[in-house]
Structures are given as structure tokens and as C-alpha cells.
Amino acid sequence: MSCLRPNLVLQGTRPWRKPFPVPAFHAHFSNSTTAEEGDLYSNLLSKCAKASNWRHGAAIHAKFIKGSVSTSLYLHNYMLNVYVKCGDLVNAHQLFDEMPRRNVVTWSAIIAGFVQQGFHNEALALFCRMVRDGMVKPNEFTLVMHAQLVKSGHGDENCVGNSLVDMYMKNQRLADGFRAFQEMPQRDVSSWTQMAVGCLQCGKPGIALEVIAEMRKTGVKPNRFTLATAFNACAILSSWEEGKKLHGLRIKLGTETDVCVDNALLDMYAKCGSMDAAWTVFQLMNDRSIVSWTTMIVGCAQNGQARKALKIFDEMILEGIEPNYVTFICLLYACSQGGFIDEGWKYFFSMSNDHGLFPGEDHYACMVNLLGRGGLIKEAEELILAMPFKPGMLVWQTLLGAYQLHGDIQTGKRAAERAMNLDKKHPSSYVLLSNMFAGLNNWLGVGDLRELMETSDVKKIPGSSWIEDLR
């Protein structure tokens, strides 16, 4: 008897009112393929759930445990549904915890089961865990579960509100996040700060500052996380005045010394071009992390103090602070800004020789930028070709930008071709090559490129590389 015949029999049965003789089919499973078994077991488990047939559902689960059946996520979900429908929340929760993967169906089943059985506290804990893990995107299910928790008298818990805000913001759903936030009857400093952080995640630093200002109006005192968030928002906006006021607020509040807050303050002053203020904060810090030193290095590089950036790095090494991957990116960027080619090579080789760090594409891009700015186009191209891994689009685009400065049209075309071969739809390579043609008054080339972009459906979008962002 083939595996198809039992399936047809099952599909023809009516909803069960008594135990279905599942063991009668077990003899046919041994000759089934994994795919066939999966279809058959899912059908059986569906019938078990509808009939609340715990005994036969448990028998199938036993075969899962013995390993005689290769289980997948959807089979686990079917099994979980059986236990939930049978009211066996103990086995349901155990199966849930043991599942290697979970999706929205998994969470729906387990939370709904606890709600239906009246275990609202457990459902609440699971709901918060689901949102906190960030593995399930918000959908109608999350809204329904939220409504059920509210009806049960648990919707005013900060856990639910904070978790919902966090979930919506991480998924760029600003309006839904604000709605969940406003529905919270009580908002503590964590609620307000999470809302502000969410605004930053959605690219709305101005709104983040408005949230923090509103929080202060309600009499809620900001904590160190609030201040760090506020400084980050000011850094993005380059809002020196607002940042200075918040710095004064921190001093007034007398909050405990915290390296994360200090680092955010350093970054804010550096992004606003106030390196004297940044240097004052840096010197007063009792605890300087690698982030503190790196922030000062890139801050100096961004504000025309490239030589000072190198001195800060050397001082950091003398103090026994070990640089990391990002530190060397910022250091090589400082070399590029200052035109320090010899120093750039020294630090580039020092990564692996002295610190056990192997240069990545970001570091190679910095070196290409450094050499290109110095007019060493040939050396820059040779460095790319000698990379120990396949060069990505970043280094070719950086080289193309260098050609734009020096008007080497043939090598520029080669770099553009390499970059376009890696991603024919990315507009940056076309724009860089077009700018190079325009700089050479080669308007025919500009026109040809625009036509190529149109025929290739390449859309010009606003944006910049991280190197351009550093500028």
C-alpha cells in the first residue's frame, strides 16, 4: 500500500469524534520517503489537533524523539498545535523550548494556548520574549495577542508596551510604535528612552530629541541611557547648541560617570566640529575605552587635525590599549586626509605584524584612497590586484574616485568595468564614471552612460559610501 492511499483515506474522513486508529498506518511509514512521511504526518497531526486526540498525537511525537522521522519546522508546529488543542501546556512548552527554530506560527500557537487556558502571566512573558528576541515581524497576530492581553488586564504592563514599541521601531514602523507608546498608561524612563532610541533607528534624530524633551516635561528624570541617546541624536544632526545644553544637564543632574555616555558626548562634539570641547571631555575621563580613543582619532581626522590623530594613536599604544579593526580604518583615513603615504603604509603593515589583525576591504579602500589622493594611481591599482581575497565593489569605486581627481580615463574605465561587473544595478559606479567624464568635458561619454543606466534600469538614488560620509 503506497503512502498516497493513507493520505486519501484521511482526507476523506470527517472531523473525529473518537480516537482514530493511527497505528494502522504505522506499517506503511517505514517504506515512505522523507517528503512523503512529512505530508502524511502533517495530515495525521492536523486530524489529532481537530479531534483533541492527545494519545495518538503523543505516539507520533514519540517517533520524532526516536529519530525515525526527520522533523522540520512545520511538523514541529503541527505537533505543538496538537498539545495546545489538547490542553497539555506542559508538553507544549517543553516542545517549544526544544525547537531549534520558531516562526510566527510557533509563537501564535504557544501564546494562544496559554491565553485560552487562562494563564495570562505566562502568555505575557512569552509575548515579551517573542518581541524582545526580534525574530518575528509585527503582523495581525501581534495585534490580536496585544488586544487579548489588554482584555485580560495585562495590557498595561510595561513589558508589553516596551516590547511592542521595540518591535515596531526595529521594523521601521514609526507610527505603530508611537501608537503603542501612547497607549501605555504608565511610562517610566525606560519607556521614554526606548521610544527615543526607536526614533534614531528609524532615522528620525529630531523626533528623538522631541521625545526626550517631552519626557522631561512630564517630570521623568533622564538616566545615562537617555543622555547617551540624546548625544547620539545631536551628533547626527550636528546640533552643537542642543548638545551643549544636554551636557550642562548631565552636569546638573550629577549622573554617575559612564564611559558610554562620555563616548557619545565625545562623538557629538567631534561631529559638531568642536574638538576643543571633545578634548576637554576626553582628558577628564577616568575610564577610556578603545571606543573613546577611536572616536578622538576619527574626530581629529574629520576636523583637519590629521597629524594629531596619529599622535593620539601612538599615545594609545603607549598606554597599552590594543587597537581593533575600526581603529585602523579611522587611522588610515586620517593618513588619507593628511596625505601621509609613508605613515599609511607603516600602519597598514603594522596591523598584521604587530597586532594580529588582517586588513579587510575597508582598510584596502583606505589605502587606495590614500594612494589615489597622492596621485599614485598605478600603485593603488596594483594594491587591489594583490589583495589576498577577491576585491569588492568598494575598492574599485574608491579607485574610480581617484581617477576622477587625476583624469586617467583608461584606468578609470577599467575600474568602472570591474565595479559594474560586481553589481550592474548599483548607481554609484555609473555616477563616479559620469563625473569623471564630465570633468574631462567628455559630454558624449556622459550621455552614453545615462542611456546605459536607463536601458539597464539603474536608478540614481541619493547616498554615499562610508568614505564620503567620513568627509
Domains of the chain, residue spans? 1-101, 360-471
Q: d(Cα 279, Cα 18) in Å, to the nearest integer?
A: 79
The amino acid sitting at 265 is: L
pLDDT for the residue 467: 38
pLDDT of residue 375: 87
pLDDT means per 10 residues, the chain with 471 residues, are 33 35 40 51 62 60 56 72 79 81 81 80 78 64 62 60 78 84 86 93 94 94 93 95 93 80 95 95 93 97 96 96 97 96 97 95 95 90 92 84 66 63 59 60 60 58 41 38
Global confidence as pTM: 0.67
| CATH 1.20.80 holds for 360-471 | no
pLDDT at 31: 41
Q: Which residues contact 363 (CB under 8 A, 6 or more apart)?
A: 328, 329, 332, 348, 351
Query: Residue 420's pLDDT is what?
Result: 61
pLDDT for 122 equals 80
Amino acid at 456: S
Q: How far from 128 is each of 96, 136, 149, 263, 458, CA to CA, in Å?
A: 15, 12, 11, 31, 42
